[in-house]
Chain A
């Protein structure tokens, strides 16, 4: 067993809602600095808004793929064939044109129009969770009773994953993304997740349903291998419930700490649209985009980066760059924060962004209207933040009303 380190790597460090001041210091000094990632590797950390956009929109020089022979220290020795099978269908490890081939098959499922049609069902799901909370009575853990089940239910329905299996896949993905858990265990969880998804893919091959898996089999079944289908579905399942759930939990806590803004979201139907964008910016729950690797010698903010180096872009830092937005440290739900980087940028810009936005626009006001007196049922200092996780959030949130 490896001992869990006391502090997460610098780009993941936060003081409650705020990125560690060290990130600001780098942004104000040279903009790009070498830091050590969770696996002890030296990486280049990019901290300014414009530089981050430059990196994320330049897939030729900043690649999501990994050159042959690239190894992460501490990673178990996995045969190349098995690695390739585990990588298949993972859009985040691909560059154009392979990435575009898969992404185009999925874009139709996440258009703004498609999301509009889904809205009534999401309203039902949200109301059912609120009914259950109301019936059980206060206090409640908002993460377990609201923030996690809503996006989980939605992505399960969309994808065609039985919600009854949630205990297993929620536990797997939560631990898979926890960087304090030893590598071999996380790899084993990934394997189990793929085996589970393989059973769903086999079923969809025989009997394609009305869900995304069924659509992929019907419309693209001959172009996609089983490994690719498994990879796509595993990524959507993970991304669908690990992200929005943390925004719902952390976002509610942020509003509880800013009562005037909470009241606006509760009472003014026009407030929620810009509020969601500002919460996305201010909370920036994804610490860094998928690490890029330089394909050639490059220069960012005047700092030379040789070919073959890992580049991390700090999304919270870019979203709190005063060259991007005024008073970046202040949460102000009225401004809407157009251009924030919480969903990334470039060809990998979050496919599920319209879904995440829609879920949040429905869930936050519904929660606050159902329980207008919603309040913390624990000291703010006792709220457990999730520090070692690839995605920032709360382990639980005790509330009352």
Chain B
């Protein structure tokens, strides 16, 4: 997991987003996770 403060994986292997807003200091991790996600399921909505 590239950003464990932002994402988790449920028992079925589906990605769960843990927070509504990316916590301060986690932005780079979250962006990294979006870039790496092989199923391209993730997007960051910029304010």
A104 touches B12 (CB 8 A): yes
Interchain CA distance A150-B7 in the complex, whole Å: 31
Contacting residue for A339 out of B12, B36, B39, CB 8 A: B36
B39 touches A107 (CB 8 A): no
Restricting to B1-25, which residues have a CB under 8 Å from any CB of A? 1-2, 9-14
**B contact residues vs A (CB 8 Å cutoff):** 1-2, 9-14, 32, 35-36, 38-40
Chain B CB within 8 A of A24 CB: no
* Interface magnitude class on chain A: 10 to 19
**A contact residues vs B (CB 8 Å cutoff):** 57, 104, 107-108, 110-113, 338-339, 343-347, 349
| Complex: chain A residue closest to B14, CB-CB | A107
Interchain CA distance A104-B12 in the complex, whole Å: 8
What A residues does B13 contact at CB under 8 A? Answer: 107-108, 110-111
**What is the distance, in angstroms, from A120's C-beta to the closest C-beta of chain B?**
20
Contacting residue for A346 out of B1, B10, B38, CB 8 A: B38
**What is the distance, in angstroms, from B7's C-beta to the closest C-beta of chain A?**
11
Instruction: Using A346-B39, A346-B40, A349-B39 as known contacts, say yes or no to A111 and B2 having CB atoms under 8 A apart.
Output: no
Interchain CA distance A18-B24 in the complex, whole Å: 41
Interchain CA distance A16-B11 in the complex, whole Å: 41
Instruction: Using A338-B2, A338-B32, A339-B35 as known contacts, say yes or no to A57 and B11 having CB atoms under 8 A apart.
Output: no
Instruction: Using A112-B1, A338-B2 as known contacts, say yes or no to A344 and B12 having CB atoms under 8 A apart.
Output: no
